[in-house]
Chains A and B, each alone.
Chain A
Amino acid sequence: MASVTVRETAGAGLYSRKRIEEMSGEKISACFQCEKCSNGCPMVFAMDIQPHRVMHCLQLGLVEEVLNSDTIWVCVSCQTCTTRCPNDIDIAHVVDTLRQLSARRQVKESQKSVAVFHTAFLSSIKRFGRVHEASMVVSYAFQNEGITGVRKQLNLGLEMMRKGKIKLVPSRLWAGKQVKEIFRKAGRKRAQ
């Protein structure tokens, strides 16, 4: 587990603990470091900053460190931490907030695939109103690793097609208009 280096600029970054609390609506200052979140986390083995330390970092204003961590991208959103927190902090939601902030700037190269996946997934919703799995996976694989990425998915894709698990033609819905509107509004807010 990598230790967190406290830089001299700590707290002077773009976001303070208070700002993250406002954005997430979660009372991060209530964390008393019981470590239940980290003990129950299924992904902790792949994290560079354990969940309880994420909370501690935020309390200390070390927001940049957390935004640059692997932790926020390998979190599976399983909600175990949120469920078990004795102080009712929705920790998984705090992680969502951190991912949103991180994605506004640049996601670190080693975790790029996760951000690319979410973009491909949301594009599919925006385009069709529903996710069209087959084209979404191809689009993700191509954006992530180019033609090599697509090739990696090919065998499984063909077998799933043989098994009748692939819907070839996406549904195009009149309701898609309303969905596009939701995306337009969300995009506008983000730009503000």
Chain B
Amino acid sequence: MKVSYYPGCSLEGTAKEYGQSFETVARDLGIELHELNGWTCCGASSAHVTNDEMAVSLGVRNLLLANKTRMDLVVPCAACYQRLKAAEKAVNTRKTIEGIPAGFATQGRIRHIVDFIWEECGEQAIREKVRKPLQALSPVCYYGCLVTRPPHITDARDPEDPRAMDDILKSLDANVKNWSYKTDCCGGNLMLTHPELARKLVARLFDMALEAGANCIAVGCPMCHASLDTVQRDITRSDGASYNLPVYYFTELMGLAFGNRAAGGWFNRHLTDAKSLLSRNGLL
């Protein structure tokens, strides 16, 4: 199957391993990705707090490119996904927006890759690819805010309890733990401006993941990953111990289970040790 692909700015930098693992896994699953030629930033979390019109226009510019391809548009970053969906809703519901051709309507669907992979491939196709089952891993799936919220923008069926990532990782035989914090915010938005506040939210997520019996966290958002992986060493538990919870992109775990040799390179990019848990269990 062919889809167009909007990587988003962080996949060129801090979330490089997310892009690499997604592209690898897509190839394994027979998905042909066509990167949107000349894509630009969606406006992220800064445009909509600054100017509504600008936020919509930055998104729509990319939707115009996607329309030319007549394919669905897949998006790995939760924030990009939500901003592009917001732009889509704005142009499809409001009559006129300056600079946007009259009668413009999006052709294909905009899809976050966690839902896209689960809906298009499903359990059978994923299971067939598994070379190294992940029984030793007990992840909690952390979706964050913007894959599902707000549902009038994202069209999420169950915004408080998404399940696609859980289902994908169960298909890799991972011992997925259930928890109530799937969509609780990590404070990623405030990581640079109010780090002390953001850390409180992150620490609670770590505590709850441990309470659920997890030995790692799976994510599908570059901002969540940055916020959980990058600053983890700066946060200690109430008893002073460190958390040591590896934070994996769900696509990395797919690539690992599929036996992809490139996987080791992805985990090298993490700031919180992501390899010990895997090598201890013969997965790497």
A residues with a Cβ closer than 8 A to B are: 42-43, 45-46, 74, 76-80, 82-83, 88, 90, 92, 96-97, 99-100, 103, 113-114, 116-118, 121-122, 125, 129-134, 137, 140-141, 144, 156, 159-160, 163-167, 171, 173-176, 178-179, 181-183, 185-186, 189-190
Which stretch (B25-33, B110-118, B210-218, B266-274) binds chain A? Answer: B266-274
Indicate whether A92 sits within 8 Å of B99 (C-beta atoms), given known contacts A122-B50, A167-B13: no
Question: 5 nearest interchain CB pairs?
Answer: A79-B149, A78-B185, A186-B54, A121-B46, A167-B13
> Can you list 15 A-B contacts with CB-CB less than 8 angstroms, sorted by A residue number?
A42-B201, A43-B185, A45-B200, A74-B190, A78-B149, A113-B194, A117-B46, A118-B45, A121-B46, A122-B50, A125-B40, A164-B269, A174-B38, A175-B39, A175-B40
Binding site for A on B (CB under 8 A): 9-10, 12-14, 16, 38-41, 43-54, 57-58, 61, 98-99, 145-146, 149-152, 159-160, 184-185, 187-190, 192-194, 197, 200-201, 230, 268-271
CA distance A96 to B185 in the complex (A): 18
Please name 8 further chain A to chain B contacts, defined as beta carbons within 8 Å, in addition to the given A82-B149, A163-B269, A175-B61, sorted by A numbering: A42-B184, A46-B197, A99-B50, A103-B50, A118-B46, A140-B192, A160-B14, A175-B40
**Given the complex of chains A and B, what is the CA–CA distance between A189 and B197 in angstroms?**
34
Complex alpha-carbon distance, A80 and B146, angstroms? 10
A174 to chain B: closest residue by CB: B38
- Pick the contact of A171: B12, B160, B187, B271 (CB < 8 A): B12
Q: How far is the CB of A125 from chain B (nearest CB, A)?
A: 5
